[in-house]
Every structure is written in C-alpha cells, then in structure tokens.
Amino acid sequence: MQEIMQFISRNPILCIAWIALFGAVLFTTFKGLASKVKVISRGEATRLINKEEAVVVDLRQRDDFRKGHIAGSVNLLPNEIKANNVGELEKHKSAPIIVVDGTGMQAQVPANELVKAGFEKVFVLKDGISGWIGENLPLVRGK
C-alpha cells in the first residue's frame, strides 16, 4: 500500500488521467446499456431486413446514396430527421428501423431523434456502409 501511495504522490497527473479514463469508460458503457438505440452487426441487420421487414434509413448525401446503397433504403439527411421531416418513413413507426451512415460514427444522434419521434425499434449499423462494403454485401445504384 505504501508503494501505491508513493507512486500516486510522484505521478499525480498520470493518476488523474487514469481516473478520468476509467470514468469515461464507465460513463460510455452505462450510457450504451441504457440507450434505446442498439448498435447491430451486419448479420443482425440482414436478418432484420429479411425476416422482419426492417426499413433502412441511409443518412449519407444524395450523391453518395446514388453511388450505392442497401436495397430498399430510404435516403434522409440528419437535418431532415431533426426537423421531423421523415416523409414516407412515418408509416413504419412500429417496424424495425436501421440507421446507416458512411462509417457508423454519426448515426447515433439521428437514431435518437427517431426514438424521440415515436419510432419503436431503432438500430444503428455498426461501421455503416463502409463495413457493409468491407464484407462484400450487395449495394444497389441509382435512384
């Protein structure tokens, strides 16, 4: 115990950094567990699309969407979701919704907005379209 106290007294900045990191890890872990939006794998997304008729919401810009998207995707921009301008998606409130972006990093906030708008089952695709392409899963072009 005395050695630990000596280490702490000699390295206070390092100890504070470790405590902050530990706190951040705990915070993000509990926030993820408490969130109504779950991050799913590509296999789970495929199962939801095929078995439960999930609707895929692609958040990428229109040009990127036209270059290749998951079949049956609806292209909505994050600011449209924030303004609750979801159009045809409104009739799918009880269906599973899979929110997809380019990398999976920016889909959480729009997904939470959909939950606030009354959508019951909202998911985020892990690694987004880049992960989908990385596993050679099919994309359709155009529209």
pLDDT tens digits for range 55-93: 999 999 999 999 999 999 999 999 999 888 888 888 888
Q: Considering the entire predicted model, what is its pTM? A: 0.79
Q: What is the pLDDT of residue 143?
A: 64
DSSP 9-77: HH-HHHHHHHHHHHHHHHHHHHHHHH-SSEEE-HHHHHHHHHHS-PEEEE-S-HHHHHH-B-TT-EE--
Q: Would you say domain 37-134 falls under CATH 2.60.40.10?
A: no
What distance in Å separates the CA atoms of residue 18 and residue 12, rounded to the nearest whole number?
10
Give the start-to-end residue ranges of the domains of the chain.
Answer: 2-33, 37-134
pLDDT of the chain, 143 residues: tens digit per residue: 889 889 989 999 999 999 999 999 999 888 777 778 899 999 999 999 999 999 999 999 999 999 999 999 999 999 999 888 888 888 888 899 999 999 988 999 999 999 998 898 999 999 999 999 999 999 998 76
CB atoms within 10 A of CB 15: 14
Q: Enter the tokens of residue 120.
A: 């019951």
